[in-house]
Amino acid sequence: MKTLFGKSMFCKRTFCKGTLAAALACLTFVAASTVHAGACSNASLKGKYGQTISGQLLPGPGVVLPQNGIAMTTFDGKGTFAQEDFVVIDGVPTTTGFQTSETGTYTVNSNCTGTATINYPDGSWIDLELVVVNQGREFRTVVSALTMGGNMVPVNIGSTGVRVDNPEGDTENHK
């Protein structure tokens, strides 16, 4: 049987099968690359990250206290971190300088979402929901729970963190 171009149907079928197989192979490689590029783990957050923190504390009916702050957080890539921050609530600094000795734990899921808990020396803590973006060079958080003095405090607070060094701590290549 001849086709419009004078080739046999055998050649046409063989060509189509070969083209289909090649296309499927390319799609498989592209899909695998996309999955690999988007995969996250605790190792996705490693090194020092500078953060901006902003939002509101809502301690009582009709009471809204604006909060702004900055933090330097160092993630170990294994699920723990250390942090120091400086926070202003309702126009008043909470400390005279950076509050140090903050520690915490975090978990990053393969879909780049996760959770973290910041523990303060006075026994207070903050629970966070987070997302890792830009191949681990940045992250975003929202406070899901804030406990101060043993009491839950309603809040509307978020933060953005940007890595200030590379995961190995070599700042020469990241100026």
- Asked whether 85 and 107 are in contact (CB, 8 A), the reply is no
C-alpha 88/C-alpha 110 separation (Å) is: 34
Residues 168 and 133 reside in one and the same domain: yes
Q: What percent of the chain has pLDDT over 90?
A: 70
The number of helix segments (H) and strand segments (E) in the chain equals 1, 10
Q: What pLDDT score was predicted for residue 165?
A: 83
Residues 118 and 157 reside in one and the same domain: yes
What sign for the dihedral angle of Cα 70, 72, 77, 82? negative
Single pTM value for the model: 0.74
Per-residue pLDDT tens digits for 24-57: 444 334 333 334 456 999 999 999 999 999 999 9
Judged against a pLDDT cut of 70, whether residue 21 lies above it is answered with: no
Burial pattern 6-22, b for ≥16 Cβ within 10 A else e, equals: eeeeeeeeeeeeeeeee
Judged against a pLDDT cut of 70, whether residue 175 lies above it is answered with: no
Judged against a pLDDT cut of 50, whether residue 108 lies above it is answered with: yes
Residues 49 and 122 reside in one and the same domain: yes
Q: What pLDDT score was predicted for residue 131?
A: 98
Q: How confident is the model at residue 167 (pLDDT cuts 50, 70, 90)?
A: low
Tokens representing 124 are: 């207070």
- Asked whether 93 and 87 are in contact (CB, 8 A), the reply is yes
Per the structure, how many domains does the chain have? 2
Residues 25 and 107 reside in one and the same domain: no
Residues 50 and 29 reside in one and the same domain: no
Per-residue pLDDT tens digits for 57-98: 999 999 999 999 999 999 999 999 999 999 999 999 999 999
CATH of the domain at 82: 2.40.128.120
